[in-house]
Amino acid sequence: MLQLLRDQRELRRSALLGALGFATFSVFWTTIAFHLADPPFDYGDGAIGLLGLAGAAGALCALAAGRLADRGLAKPSRVLAAGAVAGSFAVLWAGRASIVVIVLGVLLLDVGVQGIQVLNQTVIYELAPEARSRINSAYMTCYFAGGAIGSAVGAAAYDQGGWARVCQLGALLGALAVATALPGARRAQAADVSSA
């Protein structure tokens, strides 16, 4: 696995992008219960749990991401998906006192994270078809490491600065995801221009 990560630049980029996406997801889901349990919401466990249903709707975006990938647009579309992740935290901060706006932020976050995952898998599975299992193992190891780190730093951010700090952290991680996706999109665009 380490050799694949060393030898495959696009696998490294995809693994980092996936890790950043899942880190933002974990930052949010680790801390949202704290935010909704505090004023002005004062929600109980049952009401907080219902927010997960809104997140499930984001899974529908996997179909759209798959269609973009089928059209050969996986790399450029990852920039848009990462942008949705970064933008979701602006929505979550702006709507910090409105459950309706928080639900919209959750949908945007889930669309972005699902999009990153589907598009990344399209990209990495094309790298070395004979090594798909090892490539997937390397990718998913990095992906879940990002999620674990996101949970830890999300909880620390909430302890340090409440919801404001969580949204700042999520936006920062989302911006890093955009920066990670951009070079792959530019290379894909340059390759399309040179082959035309």
Output the domain CATH number for residue 177. Answer: 1.20.1250.20
179 in a structural domain: yes
- Minimal CA–CA distance to 106: which of 155, 55, 154, 32? 55
Total number of domains in the chain: 1
110 in a structural domain: yes
120 in a structural domain: yes
40 in a structural domain: no
153 in a structural domain: yes
Report yes or no: 84 and 108 within 8 Å, Cβ to Cβ. yes
State the CB neighbour count (10 A cutoff) for residue 148.
Answer: 13
Cα four-point dihedral sign 105, 107, 111, 117: positive
pLDDT at site 193: 44
- The burial of 187, by beta-carbon neighbours within 10 Å (0-12 exposed, 13-18 middle, 19 or more buried), is given as middle
Q: Which amino acid is at 103?
A: V
Note down the domain range covering 160: 13-32+49-191
Q: Examine residue 40 and say whether the peptide bond preceding it is cis (omega within 30 degrees of 0).
A: yes
Report yes or no: 99 and 35 within 8 Å, Cβ to Cβ. no
Buried b (16+ CB within 10 A) or exposed e, 65-94: bbebbeeebbbbbbbbbbbbbbbbbebbbe
- The burial of 50, by beta-carbon neighbours within 10 Å (0-12 exposed, 13-18 middle, 19 or more buried), is given as exposed
28 in a structural domain: yes
pLDDT at site 24: 98
Q: Return per-residue pLDDT of the chain as tens, 196 residues.
A: 788 888 899 999 999 999 999 999 999 999 999 999 999 999 999 999 988 888 777 677 777 777 778 788 789 999 999 999 999 999 999 999 999 999 999 999 999 999 999 999 999 999 988 999 999 999 999 999 999 999 999 999 999 999 999 999 999 999 999 999 998 776 665 555 455 4
